[in-house]
């Protein structure tokens, strides 16, 4: 399977970034830019290059809305926060983000061992290997996220006003 980086418009004002395994979305909103999920650390160059094509930079992203805290969804949280974006995560997932990507099994133990599955389907190892080679398990713990409950509704774009 190809692991090429891709950016494509999936709907008016929504761009899909990432590659054939990992995806995250840039939403162009009248109040500013929003990312839904934050890819892997290796996607930073792709995101910056894509923003540059429209005269934008990381500092134009007001908020990042994480759907969950697996490593392939949180890799750019720290650089985006450093650039000024608010990072939002489901409250039930906040501990994994705070403790870092290697803590996910400690916070959400699988129902059973992955070993039998991987022995039957060794090709499934390609995804964690892909993530590891692109820095997915090296991100530092990130304690700066704002948590929201599952029934939370965002009535406006979260983050800095006026962008």
Please tell me the predicted confidence (pLDDT) of residue 153. 82
Please tell me the predicted confidence (pLDDT) of residue 11. 95
The predicted-structure confidence for 62-75, as pLDDT tens digits, reads as follows: 999 999 998 899 99
Length of the chain, in residues: 163
Q: How many angstroms separate the CA atoms of 97 and 19, rounded? A: 22
**This prediction's pTM:** 0.86
The predicted-structure confidence for 92-148, as pLDDT tens digits, reads as follows: 889 988 988 777 767 766 667 778 888 888 888 898 899 999 999 888 889 999 999
- Please provide the DSSP assignment of 76-136 as one string: THHHHHHTT-EEEEEGGGHHHHHH-GGGHHHHS--SS-SHHHHHH-GGGGHHHHHHHHTTT
- Which residues does residue 17 pair with via DSSP β-bridges, in sequence order? 24
- Please provide the DSSP assignment of 5-50 as one string: B--EEEETTEEEEEBSS-EEEEEEETTEEEEES---GGGHHHHHHH
Q: CA dist 18 to 7, 9, 22, 39, 91, Å? A: 7, 12, 5, 7, 25
CB atoms within 10 A of CB 138: 14
Q: How many angstroms separate the CA atoms of 83 and 62, rounded? A: 9
Instruction: Please check the confidence at residue 155 and state whether its pLDDT lies above 80.
Output: no
């Amino acid at each position: 399977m190809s692991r090429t980086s891709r950016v494509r418009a999936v709907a008016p004002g929504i761009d899909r970034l990432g590659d054939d395994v990992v995806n995250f979305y840039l939403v162009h909103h009248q109040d500013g830019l929003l990312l839904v999920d934050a890819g892997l650390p290796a996607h930073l160059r792709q995101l910056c290059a894509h923003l540059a094509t429209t005269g934008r930079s990381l500092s134009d992203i007001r908020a990042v809305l994480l759907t969950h805290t697996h490593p392939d969804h949180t890799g750019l949280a720290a650089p985006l926060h450093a650039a000024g974006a608010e990072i939002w995560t489901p409250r039930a997932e906040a501990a994994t983000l705070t403790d870092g990507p290697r803590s996910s099994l400690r916070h959400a133990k699988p129902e059973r061992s992955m070993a039998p599955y991987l022995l039957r389907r060794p090709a499934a190892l390609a995804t964690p290997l892909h993530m590891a080679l692109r820095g997915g398990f090296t991100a530092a713990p990130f304690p700066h996220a704002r948590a929201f409950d599952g029934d939370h509704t965002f009535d406006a774009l979260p983050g800095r006003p006026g962008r």
